[in-house]
Amino acid sequence: MRDVPASRRLGADIRFLLTEKSVGARSGFLGTMTLEPGEYVSAHYHPYSDEFVFLAEGSLRMRVDGEDILVERHEAVLVPKGAHHRYENVGDSTAFLVFQVAPLAPSPEEGHVEVEPVPQPSAQPPSVGS
């Protein structure tokens, strides 16, 4: 994880660990997110993919298609394909989660659609594709 550069464009420390580019994954990709208290990942959706989320540390609020879900340590959430979702650390400690997105979209550009302005628009976008 420490060898993978973080993307902060969407508002948290996001690292894409197992991807088509890094390991030749063709069915999806796996990554991590670290959110400090008060940080959020702006709302977006994946038109081709489900997102599987496991919260390893901390707590956070997820909004999935307008419904708020409080997620605590060691809980998991499925974000269905096409569902608008947002992450926010509303706790007092760092939140760390692992996520998987599958299946892959036809291209990285088609796999992620933003529906809220991103906190750091000038940051380098993540590189998950080939």
Tell me the per-residue pLDDT of 40-64, one tens digit each, with 9 for 90 and over: 999 999 999 999 999 999 999 999 9
Mean pLDDT within 57-78: 97
Q: Residue 57: name the closest of 41, 81, 37 by CA.
A: 37
Exposed, middle or buried by CB within 10 Å (0-12, 13-18, 19+), for 53?
A: buried
Mean pLDDT within 6-23: 92
pLDDT confidence band for 121 (50 / 70 / 90): confident
Domains of the chain: 13-108 (2.60.120.10)
Q: Is the pLDDT of residue 130 over 50?
A: no
Mean pLDDT within 97-105: 97
Distance of CA 127 to the CA centre of its chain: 13
Mean pLDDT within 26-37: 96
The secondary structure element, H or E, covering residue 96 is strand 95-102
pLDDT confidence band for 128 (50 / 70 / 90): low
Which residues make beta-bridge pairs with 96? Answer: 34, 57
pTM greater than the 0.85 cutoff: yes
